[in-house]
Amino acid sequence: MDMFGMRTTKGFSVMMGFVALASVTLLGVYVWFICLKQMAAYNPIVYSKPIRGMNLGVEECLTSGARPGNRSHYPRPTSYSRAECACNPVHFFAILSMQRSGSGWFETLLNSHLNVSSNGEIFSVKQRRSNVSSILSTLDKVYNLDWFSSASKNECSAAVGFKWMFNQGVLRYHEDVVDYFKRRGVSGVFLLRRNLLDRMISIIANTYDQSVKPLNGTHKSHVHSKEEAEVLASYKPTINVSSLIPDLRRAEEMAAEAVEYFKSTRHMILYYEDIVNNHSKLMDVLDFLEIPRRDLISRQVKIHTKPLSEQIENWEEVRDALKGTKYEGFLAPRGNPSQPPRRSRRHVM
Ligand SMILES: *[C@@H]1O[C@H](CO)[C@@H](O)[C@H](O)[C@H]1NC(C)=O
Ligand SMILES: *[C@@H]1O[C@H](CO)[C@@H](O)[C@H](O)[C@H]1NC(C)=O
Ligand SMILES: *[C@@H]1O[C@H](CO)[C@@H](O)[C@H](O)[C@H]1NC(C)=O
Ligand SMILES: *[C@@H]1O[C@H](CO)[C@@H](O)[C@H](O)[C@H]1NC(C)=O
Ligand SMILES: *[C@@H]1O[C@H](CO)[C@@H](O)[C@H](O)[C@H]1NC(C)=O
Ligand SMILES: *[C@@H]1O[C@H](CO)[C@@H](O)[C@H](O)[C@H]1NC(C)=O
């Protein structure tokens, strides 16, 4: 009985030893796995061994014949397999813009391409931009193709990005963001508006719509029919002329500041008016993103199409306030000699 008791104790301590050893080993493997995952998240090129065996790394892709462009990445999402598109290079981008500059419309056009996933205004959610680490981990998730939205094409995305408004942390944390863009090879696509007075009308009208909701009690920032556009455009904003010039200057300075911050990153600058007037500008974007050219379409309909003089309640006052200032050009009728007239009111390209 004594022997049996002793053997049990001995067996027990041997077993305890084994459990301890196993735990330490498991912990080690876990830590190693986490480290590997994080390093892979930051540098997809160097740490290229497949983590779970389901997504290929860059080395496997290169030996299988894929050819990377200058900005190509081979993300390995943690939540699914890229399947037959595992060796398709992916371009990382961010649309950098301001409210009411046509970026919603621009994004729907891009997302009509079967290889583009532009995931919307993800930083409109405050917690995601409350500090640098939350911004960077959100970016990691997007560029690792682990972000899901109605626009995600997931496995066959060849360009992945989102829409980032200047007032959503991108300017505030510009140093870290520029550093991230360079480190991970993210291209900036600036979408700006040439006519900031037009933009101001759109802002005031959108704010009005938010409170009055003339479309059957729902607020719509974008519309899909001419009838809806006409309802929204029938509201004529009154512009506060005493704050007009400072407001225009502030918008202009914000755009200039943003371009200045990102000038050392790979980027392109697009103007809303130019895209409206020239369909080919969109092909420049596809070339810039190194993805195949395709026709791009959007169901969105432009809201404000009438001349400014018919769109602004206190037009004469506004005109007088801008005459002789550097913003006088904003008063010129649309479709002026330097720009061809709009071909159609529908944005189908
Ligand atoms: C990479 O960049 C070089 C120099 O900027 C350019 O000549 C080349 O065409 C680019 N390659 C691709 C695939 O875009
Ligand atoms: C950053 O913000 C997130 C989300 O708001 C929060 O959970 C986290 O604790 C913050 N981190 C730091 C370092 O402040
Ligand atoms: C685009 O997507 C299609 C199907 O989803 C896929 O077959 C094709 O390889 C993708 N193209 C690129 C350039 O990734
Ligand atoms: C309002 O709702 C009615 C009935 O659902 C619809 O026929 C009409 O087109 C809507 N009007 C607008 C401006 O959306
Ligand atoms: C117009 O702008 C001025 C200067 O910013 C401001 O003091 C005033 O309250 C504004 N008026 C209206 C009606 O909003
Ligand atoms: C339209 O855009 C394309 C591409 O940027 C450009 O080559 C062309 O000159 C533009 N056409 C006009 C009429 O501005």
What does the H/E/C string look like for 267-330? EEEEEHHHHHHCCHHHHHHHHHCCCCCCCCEEEEECCCCCCHHHHCCCHHHHHHHHCCCCCHHH
Q: Say if residues 263 and 188 touch (Cβ distance below 8 Å).
A: no
> How far apart are the CA of 120 and the centre of ligand 1, in A?
29
**DSSP E strands: which ranges in the chain?**
91-97, 116-118, 159-161, 163-165, 186-192, 267-271, 297-301, 346-348
What is the pLDDT at residue 56? 58
What is the pLDDT at residue 148? 87
Residue 49 has pLDDT above 50, yes or no: no
Residue 182 has pLDDT above 60, yes or no: yes
Atom of ligand 5 nearest to the CA of 242: 2
What is the pLDDT at residue 314? 95
Take residue 33 and report the two structure tokens written for it: 């796995």
From 62, 70, 287, 290, the mutation candidate for ligand 1 (largest count of ligand atoms within 8 A of CB) is 70
- The stretch 326-344 carries a mean pLDDT of 65
pTM over 0.85: no
Closest CA to ligand 1's atom 6: 70
Closest CA to ligand 3's atom 3: 156
Q: Which residues line ligand 1 (CB under 6 A)?
A: 69-70, 290
Lowest mean pLDDT among 156-170, 264-278, 293-307: 293-307
What is the pLDDT at residue 344? 39
- The stretch 110-122 carries a mean pLDDT of 95
51 Cβ closer than 6 Å to some ligand 3 atom? no
Per residue in 241-275, pLDDT (tens digit) is 999 999 999 999 999 999 999 999 999 999 999 99
Burial of 157 (0-12, 13-18, 19+ CB in 10 A): buried
85 Cβ closer than 6 Å to some ligand 3 atom? yes
335: pLDDT confidence band, cut at 50, 70 and 90?
A: low
**Residues 67, 70, 76, 77: is their CA dihedral positive or negative?**
negative
* Stronger pLDDT, 3 or 59, i.e. the higher one: 59
Burial of 70 (0-12, 13-18, 19+ CB in 10 A): exposed
> How far apart are the CA of 134 and the centre of ligand 2, in A?
6
What is the pLDDT at residue 349? 41
What is the pLDDT at residue 84? 83
Percent of the chain scoring above 70 in pLDDT = 77
Domains of the chain in sequence order: 31-70 (no CATH), 83-347 (3.40.50)
